């Protein structure tokens, strides 16, 4: 029985070594990269992208002084055009901070009435008898994140 338990126990030694920085470069921990942002005017999409980007910056140990430069490389389509306009208006040597970038992304792409819309959806959310409780909890949780 003891041999069986040893065989089925996960081996975390490679992960521990990689996290300590002792493994070869190929075996090191690689955080999942965030997706591109194309300029969708949707609170959930914007919030999700910003959280994914912050998580990536933190996990990849990117300094905050490089955060905006890295994040702007994930802007595509209208979002990339919009950021190019912001940079022209502010000046290329502005010294953009992550907070400046996040504020501008939210101001441009989160609809102004998104809180009101989410509150209305929350007010109308009911758990009908034929609805799955998990679906109700998921919908409630998503709406609370939007507010």
DSSP-derived secondary structure for 98-133? HHHHHHHHHHHHS-TTHHHHHHHHHHH----TTS-H
Phi, psi of 37, rounded to the nearest 5 degrees: -115, 120
DSSP-derived secondary structure for 63-109? -HHHHHHHHHTTB-THHHHHHHHHHHHH-TTS---HHHHHHHHHHHH
Higher pLDDT among residues 101 and 4, named by residue: 101
Does position 107 have pLDDT exceeding 80, yes or no?
yes
Q: Give the pLDDT confidence of 34-63 residue by residue, as tens digits.
A: 999 999 998 889 999 999 999 999 998 988
Q: Give the pLDDT confidence of 5-20 residue by residue, as tens digits.
A: 444 444 545 544 545 5
pTM for this prediction: 0.63
Question: At CA 44, angle to CA 56 and CA 119, rounded to 5?
Answer: 140
Take residue 106 and report the two structure tokens written for it: 């939210």
Separation between Cα atoms, residue 100 and residue 145, nearest integer Å? 22
């Amino acid at each position: 029985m003891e041999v069986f338990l040893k065989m089925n126990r996960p081996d975390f030694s490679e992960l521990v070594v990689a996290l300590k920085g002792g493994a070869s470069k190929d075996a090191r921990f690689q955080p999942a990269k965030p997706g591109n942002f194309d300029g969708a005017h949707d609170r959930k999409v914007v919030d999700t992208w910003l959280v994914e980007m912050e998580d990536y910056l933190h996990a990849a140990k990117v300094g905050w002084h490089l955060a905006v430069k890295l994040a702007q490389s994930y802007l595509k389509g209208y979002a990339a055009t919009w950021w190019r306009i912001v940079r022209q208006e502010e000046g290329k040597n502005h010294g953009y901070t992550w907070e400046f970038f996040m504020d501008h992304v939210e101001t441009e792409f989160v609809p102004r009435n998104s809180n009101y819309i989410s509150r209305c959806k929350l007010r109308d959310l009911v758990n009908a008898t034929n609805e799955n409780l998990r679906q109700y909890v998921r919908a409630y949780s998503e709406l609370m994140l939007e507010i």
